[in-house]
Amino acid sequence: MTIVYLIILAFVLGLVIWNLWTEKKLVNQLTAVMVIIPLVLRLLLIK
Amino acid sequence: MKKHQITALVCLVAAAAIAIYSGNLFLSLRKPDKIIPGPGVTEVRKLSDYFSELKGTRGDSDIYILKGAEEGGKVLVLGGTHPNEPSGYLSAVIMVEKGKVSTGEVYVIPRANNSAFTHNDSQEASPLYLHFDNTKGEERAFRFGSRATNPIDQWPDPDVYEHAASGQQLSGSETRNLNRGYPGRPKGNLTEQMCYAITELIKKEDIGLTFDLHEASPEYPVINATVAHEKSMDIAAFGMFELDMIGIKMQLEPSPVNLHGLTHRELGDYTDTYPLLMETANASQGRLRGATNEELALTGKDKFYVSAQKLGMLYVPYDENGHPIEERVGRHLQSIQSYVSSYNDFTGETVVLENLPSYDEMLAGRLGDYLN
C-alpha cells in the first residue's frame, strides 16, 4: 500500500514542479514551493 | 531562458534548501536521547528479546534491568508510553541513572513507545527538547514527543480503530496509541506489536507489579491519581495511605471494566501482574494553556490555568507556582517507592529500591541533580 501511495505522491510532486516551471506569476510559483517542500519530505519518508 | 523560468529555478533551489534543512531537523529527532545508566543497572535488553519481529524497527526500545544481590520480586516501570507527558519519561530515566536495587529485580523501559519520541503532535507547537543541567554543569537534553506512534512507522490510520481483543471501537488515530493496544498481538500493527512485546516480557519474567507513568491536563478528571485494576486495589489503597502521610494527595480510581487496551485493564486481565497507572498535572498538554514552550512543560506556570482554577474548571489545585517538573517527577518516584512497599506487604515478595530521591528531596532540589 505504501508503494502505491508513494507512486501517487511522486506523480503529484511532478505535476507541481511542472506547474512551477510553466507558471508565469511569482506568487503562484511561491505557492508551488510551499507545496513541494512537504511533498518531498513525505516522498523520502522523513515526515 | 525566460524570466519566469529563472524565477522557477530560484524557487526550486529555495525549496530544496528548505527541504534539506527541515529534513535534517526531522531526522535528528529519531536519534535517541542519551541515557547514562548508573551503577544499579546490571543488564540492558531490548523489546525484541521478547518479540523478535520488533528487531530493526523504531519500536525496539531499551529495557534497563536493575538486579539486586538477593533474589526477590520483580517490578516493571513503563515511562514514555506517551512522550508528550515528560514526568513519566524523566522518572524512568532517573531510576535508570540513579536507582539501585538490593533485593529483587526492577525492569525499566523509559521510552516505552520509542517511535512516538521521533515526532511531535501536529499543530500543538510543542517544544522539541527539555534541557537540564546536571551537578557537573553539563547540559542534558530529553525529547518532548508525541502521544502516538510516528505515522512514518505505522500508516495509514483506519477510520475506526477496533481493539483486537475486545472489539471496542475508538477514533482511528488511537490505533497508534500504545495505551490502547494492550495486550497487543504479534500479527498486529507496530503499536500492537510493542504492546505484545511488553506483555510477553511481563509473562516471561513473571513481573509482579507494573507501573505505567503518565501525565494529564489539569482539566482532566483523572489527575494526581492512581488508576488500579481491581486486583491491584489493596496494594494501591495502602500505598495511598503512606503517600497521604508524606503529604501527597492521591486519588484512587478503579480501572473501568469496559475501557479496553489500557495497561491498568489489560495487563491485569491477561497477565498475573498487578498494574497501576499514575497521572500527574501537565499544563503543556492541556487545552486551556497559553504559549506552549519548554518553560511551560518544566514549570507548569500558566496564567490561563490560574484563571481556570478560579472558575472551578480544574481537577487539581492551581496557582501562580504552577506544577514544576520536580514536583511531578517527585510524585511518581515517591509513589513507586510507596506502592512497592505496599506490594511487599501484601504479597510476601520483597523488592528493595534504593538511592531514589524522595518527594521532599525532589521539591527541594533540581531535577538535574538526579541525572548523571
* pTM of the shown model: 0.95
Contact state of A47 with B5 under an 8 Å Cβ cutoff: no
CA dist B29 and A28 (Å) reads 32
CA dist B99 and B41 (Å) reads 8
Contact state of B23 with A32 under an 8 Å Cβ cutoff: no
Residues 45-74 of B with CB under 8 A from A: none
Could you tell me if B267 and B202 are in contact, meaning their C-beta atoms sit under 8 angstroms apart? yes
ipTM of the complex: 0.94
Cα→Cα distances B227→A19, B147, B221, B331, Å: 56, 19, 12, 15
Residue with cell 516501570: B77
Question: Which residues in chain B are closer than 8 Å to A36, comparing Cβ atoms?
Answer: 12, 15, 19
Note whether B8 contacts A: Cβ–Cβ < 8 A: yes
Cα→Cα distances B127→A36, B29, B209, B292, Å: 25, 12, 33, 7
Contact state of B5 with A21 under an 8 Å Cβ cutoff: yes
Question: Which residues in chain B are closer than 8 Å to A29, comparing Cβ atoms?
Answer: 4, 7-8, 11
Q: What is the pLDDT along chain B (372 residues), one digit of tens a residue?
A: 889 899 999 999 999 999 999 999 999 999 999 999 999 999 999 999 999 999 999 999 999 999 999 999 999 999 999 999 999 999 999 999 999 999 999 999 999 999 999 999 989 999 999 999 999 999 999 999 999 999 999 999 999 999 999 999 999 999 999 999 999 999 999 999 999 999 999 999 999 999 999 999 999 999 999 999 999 999 999 999 999 999 999 999 999 999 999 999 999 999 999 999 999 999 999 999 999 999 999 999 999 999 999 999 999 999 999 999 999 999 999 999 999 999 999 999 999 999 999 999 999 999 999 999
Nearest to B81 by CA among B52, B48, B108, B116: B116
